[in-house]
A = this chain, B = another copy of it.
Amino acid sequence: MRGNIVLFGDSITEESFRSGGWGASLANIFSRKADVLCRGYDGYNTRWALFLLHHLFPLVLDSPTKPPIATTIFFGANDAALPGGFRERHHVPVQEYKDNLRKIVTHLKECSPTMLIVLITPPPIDEERRLEYARATYGEEAMKLADRTNESAGVYAKGCVEVAGEMGIPSINIWSKMQETDGWQKKYLSDGLHLTALGNAVVFEQIVRVFKEARLHPEEMPYDFPHHSEIDADNPDMAFQLKCA
C-alpha cells in the first residue's frame, strides 16, 4: 500500500538505524506514510554494489513488488580508500567510481522514471583519528600509510556531484557541508570516518531538505489509514470505508 524509500550504501548506511541514526530518523518522520528500508553493506565499494543492483532493484517486469518512491545512494568512502593503504582492497579508481554511479542511477531510472534518486558524497576524513583507529585495531604495521585522506575523499565527492549534475538528479555534498562547521572532525565523526549522533543529524537534515525540494514532504503525504481523531467511536466502520475501499 505505502511506498518504500531505500537507503543504498556502505557501512554509513548499514549503521543508520543505530540510536540517533539518520535512517531511523527518516523512518520516524515517514511513519504511516512510507517504509524506509536499509540496504547498507559495510565495506562495499561501487564495484561490488553493482553485483547487488538487479537483486535489490528488480525491473518491474521481473518483480511483483513496486519500485521504491525514493532511493539514496551513499557510496564512495570505500572506493576512496588509498591504493597502498591498509584498506587497498576496497579501492576503486575515481573514474570507475563515477561510471559505477552512472550505472546505478541508469538502472534505477529504468526501474521507475518517477523514483527520486539522491546521490550522497562520502563524508570528510579526519586523518589523525584514522591513524589512531588503525593503530588501535591493527597495531604499528597499519601506521605506515593512512587508509584514507580527506583530499582523496574530496576528489570522490566532487566526482559524485558531477555525476548527479550530468544525470539531472539531486546530490548532497556531505564532504563540503560537514567541513563548514568548526570542529567537524570530532563533532561529526566517531573514528575519523563514521558518523556521530550529530553527524547523523546533518545527513538526516540534508536528506529531508533535498526530499522537500523534490516535493517528497512527509507532512503532505496521507496517513495510510484514518487518524484516530477521524474515527467515530460509535460508528468506526465509516472512517474505514472511506480510507480502505
Residues of A within 8 A of B (CB): 1, 14-15, 17-21, 23-25, 27-28, 31-32, 35, 37-38, 40-44, 47-48, 51-52, 55, 64-65, 88-90, 197, 225, 227-229, 231, 233, 236-237, 240, 244
Contacts and interface: CB of A to CB of B under 8 A. Distances in A.
A41 B225 contact: yes
A51 B21 contact: no
Mostly helix, strand, loop or mixed at chain A's interface? mixed
Contact of A236 (B17, B51, B228): B51
Given A14-B31, A65-B64, A231 B48 contact: yes
Q: How many copies does the complex hold?
A: 2
A238 to B, nearest CB: 11
Nearest to A4: B35
**Which 5 residue pairs across A and B have the least CB separation, nearest first?**
A43-B228, A64-B64, A24-B24, A89-B233, A51-B240
A12 to B, nearest CB: 13
Contacts of A40: 31-32
Given A21-B24, A89-B233, 6 more contacts: A14-B31, A17-B24, A19-B19, A44-B228, A47-B236, A48-B228
Contacts of A15: 28
7 contacts: A14-B32, A17-B27, A19-B19, A32-B40, A41-B225, A43-B229, A64-B64
A28 B32 contact: no
Nearest to A28: B17
Contacts of A65: 64-65
Contacts of A88: 233
A64 B236 CA distance: 29
A127 to B, nearest CB: 22
A228 to B, nearest CB: 3
Contacts of A38: 27, 31, 35
